[in-house]
Structure 1
Amino acid sequence: MSRLLPRIPRSLRRRLILGAALLATVAVAVSQLIGFVVLRSWLLDRVDQQLADFHPPGPAYFDALKKSIPGERPGVLPSDFRVYFYDVSGRRTDMSLGADDKPGPRIGDSVARLGLHDGRPGTVGSISGDGRWRVLLSSGPGGMHAVVALPLDTVDATMSKILWLNVGLLVVTVAALLALVRWVVRLGLLPLTRMEHTAERIGAGQLDLRLPDTDARTEIGRLGRVLNSMLERLQQALREREASEARMRRFVADAGHELRTPLTAIQGYAQLALRRERLPVYEQSEAHQLIAQNAERMGLLVDDLQLLAQLDREPSYERDPVDLLSLAADAVRTAALHGTSHPVDLGPLSDPEGNGELDVVEAVGDPHRLRQIVDNLLSNTRVHTPAGTAVHVRVGETRVGADTCGTDRPGVMSASPPLPDGMPASVVEVADEGPGLTAKDALHAFERFYRADPSRSRAHGGSGLGLSIAAAIAEGHGGRLELDTAPGKGCTFRLVLPARPPDGRSSGAFR
């Protein structure tokens, strides 16, 4: 059954052309049909009017009744009229008016067999041939009737010519419409064609190209804008994926490089320690000590890598009230016990006017992880600044803003997105009076395995994962860790967390 149905074109252009041409053809055909019917009705009305206006002469009824002049009487009637008479009993008489070489109408021998109503015209066939007649029954004197007839040859010939003319005109019109519709559709789909060519070039690798037609007043233009937006997002996602893959490759390479150093040392000292019969006791003890140190360093590096992987995958933090002032005081006390080469003090966070008071500052989070951030920042100041450099730890509350903290602004670097402007924030600052960092080093400070001084010894400079871990923990608490530095002006690391409101619920996006 499906094979008998016409196959619908799959091309949008062909469907539009076929649909438009079909609709136009139907419209032209319907208009021609209406004109044909109206013209035919008008011609028939004209014939009917001629029949209604013609009245047989009165003496003809009596002549027909007397049957004194049988047969037809040519030359009596105008044009092609024919008149047939019926007597009082309803039977047709032998006399009729009008004569022609055309066969007469096929009418009955009695009024009852005519099938006509008085004053209402009808159409009958010819006695022979395909001709048709229009007939009208009218009453005469003395109960007689007459049938007046006119041939429809002229009407039929006219309608036949009109019909063939309409058919020819329809064919020409359809052909012209097909050509016109094809041109109009081609012109209308030209933006889609340009989009197609542009998409082919984008698919070939030219990812920076965009669709040219983006007029919001047209459907194709709106489609172009949506596709361009989608292409921007896809290209951005592709760039992010490439950057992520590059970071992953660099991370794996850096991790391998970091692990290779202690592994090489362990392997070398282990081989040295195996030759016990050739080594003095003190050299064996030194080899064992170095093996233990490198194993410990490698264990710490592996622990950091596992922690980073856990923070990236699905961090899990406690949600407890944390007194940041007590936390910072404990961290300062611990840092003082590790040595006196860097004097550390604890003070309040200054407001924009330079005033501030030391008071309890609370946030919601994991106290152990937050303490880990502060300890890491204090450890960095001892490792990366000269001996005698003063370190200042400040704790306070403020609101996120361009002149305080939590937003992106010139000179401030962070690995986390900015916080909502005006949000109440609890802040812990660790600032040193050291040499500071250059803009390039500050830009990469939170990258994994990054060292501002590549030649620094790993034994004293760490693996370059501390700030990455601290930034990940801060972001996991709905805050961020930011760096404010400049050459010769020291470094200020600022831990910004959503402040704990009076009802005890965190005001930030804490995961």
Structure 2
Amino acid sequence: MRLLPRRPRSVRTRLVLISTVLATVAVLVSQAAGLAVMRSWLTGQIDQRLTQFRPPPPAAYGKPPHGLAPEDVLPSDFRVFFYAPDGRLRSDSLGSGTGRPRLPASASRLALEDGRPATVPDAGGGGGWRVVADRGPDGRPVVVALPLDTVEGATSKLLWFSLAIGAVVAAGVGLLGSAAVRLGLRPLARMERTALRITGGESALTVADTDPRTETGRLGIAFNTMLGQVRAALLRKDASERRLRRFMADAGHELRTPLTSIQGFAELLVEQPRLPAARRREAHELIARNAERMSRLVDDLFLLAKLGYAPVAHRETVDLLSLAADGVGAAVVAHPGREVRLAPLGGGGGDGPGATLDVVDALGDAHQLSQVIANLLANACRHTPPGARVEVRVGAVRTGAETGGTDRPGRSSATVALPAGVPACVVEVADDGPGLTPDAAQQVFERFYRGPSAGENVEPGSGLGLSIAATIAEAHGGRLELDTRPGHGCVFRLLLPRSVGAGPHGPA
């Protein structure tokens, strides 16, 4: 026969059972202690009467004086038993009442100390006796006894009374305790119903019992905090999944264009083997150009994935001025005829336009930071007219609405703002081009976003440069932001926390 699993009792049932058992045990223990004390006191009273009693005079051993019966010689319920001169227990005794204690038939086997009370059973199986051994006037052993009927009767009644009280207490505690526990667990019951509703789909609910002075209130606070964290995690997960789906769709779209071009020109070369040499060379060049574009796109995607899941691998003291100078030199070579210059940061620490360039040191990865500057310069040269000037400024500031690092109208960024008043190292890439509209400024840091190019012959980028630059800045604990408005150019600003000393003109 298969035994069914035992159903676990609820918390309320367990609490009621525990409280009932504890209360009942407490009552029974207290009653047992009282019973023991009362029995000891009554026995002590009998012992006192026994020790104070003196056997009757010798005339009482024979014929009682004045014609009294033997049972009238002793007071109350005393019984006196005698041993004959030869040591045998006499069959007669003094005193009234029925029954007798179980005494040895010979005085030599009497194991009682003189004057010391002891308890012996009844000879007929009734109640016990309290006896004390003594010596009569003639030196013969005498045993004085008192029955324990009164003591046993009182203790028996008290025992039954204690059991009745224990049963009443158990029933009362069970009933009242159940109501009290149900009332005390009412907040938990409400919390349980709320949790069930949340699991049923009502995810916006919260627990109402949040009194920090009670255990259930603190549990409610912790439960609401957990719900908030779970909701935030779900929102982040949903947002991450949406970004991932959009990213995969954009990546597939971006990769499809060069792949389609490569496939088309490759099929052209295969299907028309007699193409002129000039057309064949043009097809090869277009295949190589699209393959290179696709390779750059894959490299950028890999870099974004690497930056998103790994911190800055190498940190060292980096001279931002040297990195900016190298970036300016590379931009001049890549864009001949474009005016690109290096200048001190104006308004960041009292430096004027004619101030000297000072060394500005930051802590980070030199290769990644140089990539940020190169991406910003390439972006400025690609999306501004040929005659627009590009200026790279390096300095140190304290973050604020005017110096950068915090949010303000007309400023956009893909990362959170830095606290105001924090010393920071700054690299700005500014141009005097047409600038961007507010809607376009909010999208420039998104992946695969492409702004309008400056000319027809400018090769479009992958749309990942600014996203990579913003990710690198965030990995360094800094921020990449854009200040722009139509007709006033763009200022891309890289801010890094100032971990090491800057130049002499930088803020302390």
Fold match (TM-score > 0.5): yes
1:34 match: 33
Residues 63, 69 of structure 1: 8 Å contact kept? no
1:446 is the counterpart of 2:442: no
Q: How far 1:247 moved relative to its partner?
A: 0.9
Provide the identity percentage.
54
Q: TM-score, normalised by structure 2?
A: 0.81
2:491 match: 492
1:147-158 matches, cutoff 5 A: 147-158=143-154
Cα separation, 2, equivalents of 1:488 and 1:224: 56
Residues 1:90 and 1:299: Cα distance change in structure 2 (over 3 Å):
closer
Cα separation, 1, equivalents of 2:301 and 2:175: 71
Residues 276, 284 of structure 1: 8 Å contact kept? no
Amino acid in the other structure paired with 2:117 = P
Decide which of 249, 253, 263 is 2:245's aligned counterpart.
Answer: 249
Q: How far 1:99 moved relative to its partner?
A: 3.4
Cα separation, 1, equivalents of 2:283 and 2:125: 132
Q: TM-score, normalised by structure 1?
A: 0.80
1:472 is the counterpart of 2:471: yes
Q: Extract unaligned runs of 5+ from structure 2.
A: 503-508
Decide which of 65, 71, 76 is 2:73's aligned counterpart.
Answer: 76
Q: How far 1:105 moved relative to its partner?
A: 3.3
Residues 1:230 and 1:270: Cα distance change in structure 2 (over 3 Å):
same
Q: How far 1:252 moved relative to its partner?
A: 0.9
Cα separation, 1, equivalents of 2:358 and 2:153: 112
Instruction: Determine which structure has greater relative contact order: mean sequence separation of CA pairs < 8 Å that are 6+ residues apart, divided by chain length.
Output: 2
1:209 is the counterpart of 2:205: yes
Residues 412, 481 of structure 2: 8 Å contact kept? yes
Amino acid in the other structure paired with 2:493 = R
Answer with 46-55 or 153-162: which moved more: 46-55
Partner of 2:129, secondary structure, is strand
Partner of 1:413, secondary structure, is strand
Amino acid in the other structure paired with 2:166 = L
1:269-308 matches, cutoff 5 A: 290-308=286-304
Q: Deviations over 1:219-257 (max 9, x none)?
A: 443343334333333332222222111111101111111
Residues 348, 398 of structure 2: 8 Å contact kept? no
Residues 72, 96 of structure 1: 8 Å contact kept? no
Residues 412, 483 of structure 1: 8 Å contact kept? yes
1:263-274 matches, cutoff 5 A: 263-268=259-264
1:285-434 matches, cutoff 5 A: 290-314=286-310, 322-337=318-333, 343-352=339-348, 354-356=350-352, 357=355, 358-386=357-385, 388-400=387-399, 404-407=403-406, 411-418=410-417, 424-434=423-433
Q: Deviations over 1:26-81 (max 9, x none)?
A: 222211211222222222223333434544443xx234268999996233334333
Q: How far 1:467 moved relative to its partner?
A: 0.1
1:22 is the counterpart of 2:25: no
Cα separation, 2, equivalents of 1:316 and 1:57: 113
Residues 135, 141 of structure 2: 8 Å contact kept? yes
Partner of 1:168, secondary structure, is helix
Cα separation, 1, equivalents of 2:396 and 2:386: 31
2:121 match: 125
Residues 363, 499 of structure 1: 8 Å contact kept? yes
Decide which of 199, 210, 222 is 1:226's aligned counterpart.
Answer: 222
2:505 match: none
Residues 1:354 and 1:321: Cα distance change in structure 2 (over 3 Å):
closer
Partner of 1:141, secondary structure, is coil
Q: Extract unaligned runs of 5+ from structure 1.
A: 504-511
Q: How far 1:273 moved relative to its partner?
A: 6.2
1:507 match: none
Partner of 1:51, secondary structure, is helix
Q: How far 1:465 moved relative to its partner?
A: 0.7
Equivalences, count: 495
Amino acid in the other structure paired with 1:97 = L
Answer with 366-375 or 156-165: which moved more: 366-375
Q: Deviations over 1:441-489 (max 9, x none)?
A: 33332221124569x9996553321101222333344533222334554
2:506 match: none
Q: Deviations over 1:282-307 (max 9, x none)?
A: 77776666555444433332332233
Residues 382, 458 of structure 2: 8 Å contact kept? no
Residues 1:107 and 1:238: Cα distance change in structure 2 (over 3 Å):
same
Cα separation, 2, equivalents of 1:293 and 1:103: 128
Partner of 2:392, secondary structure, is strand
Residues 137, 147 of structure 1: 8 Å contact kept? yes
Residues 317, 365 of structure 1: 8 Å contact kept? no
1:64 match: 61
Cα separation, 1, equivalents of 2:103 and 2:284: 137
Amino acid in the other structure paired with 1:332 = V
Answer with 80-89 or 278-287: which moved more: 278-287
Amino acid in the other structure paired with 2:22 = L
1:46 match: 45
1:509 match: none
Residues 1:110 and 1:326: Cα distance change in structure 2 (over 3 Å):
closer
Cα separation, 1, equivalents of 2:59 and 2:430: 139
Residues 480, 495 of structure 2: 8 Å contact kept? yes
1:143 is the counterpart of 2:143: no
Q: How far 1:183 moved relative to its partner?
A: 3.0
Cα separation, 2, equivalents of 1:462 and 1:55: 128
2:235 match: 239
Partner of 2:428, secondary structure, is strand
1:97 match: 94
Partner of 2:160, secondary structure, is helix
1:178 match: 174
Cα separation, 1, equivalents of 2:313 and 2:105: 114
RMSD: 4.0
Residues 1:23 and 1:472: Cα distance change in structure 2 (over 3 Å):
same
Q: How far 1:415 moved relative to its partner?
A: 3.0
Cα separation, 2, equivalents of 1:94 and 1:378: 132
Partner of 1:96, secondary structure, is strand
Cα separation, 2, equivalents of 1:24 and 1:176: 10
Q: Deviations over 1:378-410 (max 9, x none)?
A: 232233345544433211123445653445556
Q: How far 1:352 moved relative to its partner?
A: 4.5
Amino acid in the other structure paired with 1:375 = A
Amino acid in the other structure paired with 2:428 = E
Cα separation, 1, equivalents of 2:457 and 2:443: 18
Residues 65, 87 of structure 1: 8 Å contact kept? no
